[in-house]
Amino acid sequence: MKYPETNKIAHTDTYFGTNVNDPHHWLEDDRSPETMAWVKAQNEVTYNYLKKIPYRDALKKRMEQLWNYEKIGAPFKEGGYTYFYKNNGLQNQSVLYRKNASGKEEVFLDPNTFSKDGTTSLGAVDFSKDGSKVAYSISEGGSDWRKIILMDALSKRIMEDTIVDVKFSGVSWKGNEGFYYSSYDKPQGSELSAKTDQHKLYFHKLGTAQKSDKVIFGMDQKRRYVSGSVTEDDKYLVISAANSTYGNELYMTDLSNDANPIVTVVNDFKSSSYVIENEDTKLFIVTDWNAPNQKIVTVDFSNPKPENWKDFIAETEYVLSPSTGGGYFFAHYMKDAVSAVKQYDYSGKLIRDIVLPGIGTVSGFNGKKTDKPLYFTFTNYITPGNTYSFEANGGKSEVYQKPKVDFNGDNYVSKQVFYTSKDGAKIPMIITHKKGLKLDGKNPTMLYGYGGFSVSLTPAFSIANAIWMENGGIYAVPNLRGGGEYGKKWHDAGTKMLKQNVFDDFIAAAEYLIANKYTSKDYLAIRGGSNGGLLVGATMTQRPDLMKVALPAVGVLDMLRYHTFTSGAGWAYDYGTSEDSKEMFEYIKGYSPVHNVKKGVQYPATMVTTGDHDDRVVPAHSFKFAAELQDKQTGNNPTLIRIDVKAGHGAGKSVAATIQENVDIQAFTLYNMGIKSLPNWKK
């Protein structure tokens, strides 16, 4: 392979007396002509390589064919209308429809009209309590920076000037008076990479200019993440404030009088808590305070400190993620990464264990107190997401919408195994493939992982994975430490000075698949995105002999400098930083992918993927890692980087771009496993 020339420019950072060379530091300047030229040159090499793969076009044709089915979301009521999202199959963005009481249907918002190339997406859509007004956010080019557009929901008329420069924010209405939203001051330098660390909660009063929006919280208290939400009865504003992705302060104020003070509920970052519901002054709070697997407590607003909390739904051995709707509480539990749901009334009485359609992932059972019926979605690795209606009073559920996908899950098997990691920890993994697959060590296998930020990987259907398995591939997902599948202890066991546990768990998953003849090192690919990109980068640099293909996507790959970009400093609960201590610096440097690429090593065939507008995990991580690999790779395995233009971290990516990315990843993977042709598909 002949790669574009990547300049090396002397740059050194010093940590606790240790000099660290960073010759590709210049690639951090995402808007410079030199970086833009490098991106263009790298893409040219990558796409020329991909074009030579003989079955790439056939793979795309089949992907589009399978993807092309109608997708309809669960309906929700706002004012006199019922709203729902629908995609006719290959539309770049789903369309928001509504129908009135007589059943007449119309398009309400069509994001496909926002931009010609499909790179402007619709974010949150929030209605005022009576449904007469709506505020919706848009993202351009995949950026986390959003705009909020205000509209009269009845006439669909734009009401006033667009709210700009909004980031990491929902919208929560206070009656029809206005709404709360959050943002940072626009940073100096590149808005896509410059540090942002003081989040503020604003109130926008309808009919006034954005410059006069009042700061409610965050002016005097410097916090990285601040959010505000109004309770369903319009009685309270609830404020959450945090400096990291785990742990938050909790504040509230009574909205009956503007002069009412902000009351402190939780005054430290040692736990995570939020208000899920209230009955007048009685608050229902979800918390992991003294409950690593979470519980719901009650307390009166007049004296809301934790010492006065009383258990409402107590902690169990399983992780709780509750919802409310239809006048009930729904306790969602994870049992070895699959769903179980219990229904409670407002007195805390168990109404029923809800009978689910099968073993998999359930989401939903939420809505307003008056909503009837409620809806939920069920899915697993071989079952496309089916939507069910649920009568909360009687407990009856029935199919509301079943997608017509050209995929028969009866021809596949999905089973859970438990394997042993390096230190003896038992780790669950779900392995999915065609029935009757011969375990001869020659099956192309995609091992996908995440392992961080208390994120749980639960079974879910994917068209891309269906295509992979249709071609005889195995799809395997372990639930690594660092995730949330077993609560806070499981999360903490993969953080800071224990981060190596996550990589060891992933390596042990690969070794299990090889030892049990599912695959071999010549047919194994590892894949992950964001924190999962770090997982792949660390695993391939520690054990390059273990896999044939590595696919780090939008990864956190320069661990010494991640906290200096955008909101990266907020990830320190999981990672620690290179500035914390000499010990932490040395530990992080020991696994940081950018700093552990070595000359004379044959690394697996690698395709790094990122977006040039990724302002969550800035593309400099991927740029520097790819540059290091291209400079030091030994042998003939390609080390490419595929950079989506006008794309961000992933949210809002168009269907066309998503399909092409999955096609390229699978084509690259199979081609580098020596697969010459794909099975003949039925037409």
Catalytic residues: 530, 649
Which SS3 state, helix, strand or coil, does residue 283 take? strand
CB 416 within 8 Å of CB 430: yes
- Residues 333, 338, 340, CA angle at the centre, nearest 5°? 40
Contact, 200 vs 226, CB < 8 A? yes
**Burial class of residue 290 in the structure, from the number of CB atoms within 10 Å of its CB (0-12 exposed, 13-18 middle, 19+ buried):** exposed
DSSP string, 445-486: EEEE----TT--------HHHHHHHHTT-EEEEE--TTSSTT
Contact 551, 527 (CB under 8 A): yes
Amino acid occupying residue 502 = V
Residue 202: count of CB within 10 angstroms of its CB: 22
CA 222 from centroid of its chain's CA atoms? 26
Rounded to 10 deg, the angle between the 620-632 and 33-51 helix axes is: 60
**Residues with Cβ within 8 Å of residue 105, at least 6 apart in sequence:** 97, 98, 99
AA letter at 197: D
Task: Calculate the CA 110 to chain-centre distance.
Answer: 23
Residue 187: which residues within 8 A CB-CB, separation 6 or more? 194, 195, 196
At 416, list the tokens: 């859970």
- Kindly give the pairing relationship between strand 236-242 and strand 273-279: unpaired
What DSSP state is assigned to residue 262?
P
Q: What are phi and psi of 560, to 5 degrees?
A: -80, -25
- As a whole number of angstroms, the distance between CA 59 and CA 664 comes to 9
The answer, yes or no, to whether the previous bond of 444 is cis (omega within 30 of 0) is no
**How many other CB atoms are there within 10 angstroms of residue 352's CB atom?**
13
Q: Which residues contact 417 (CB under 8 A, 6 or more apart)?
A: 428, 429, 430, 431, 512
Number of alpha carbons in the 13 Å side-chain half-sphere of residue 425: 25
Beta bridge pairs of residue 335: 338
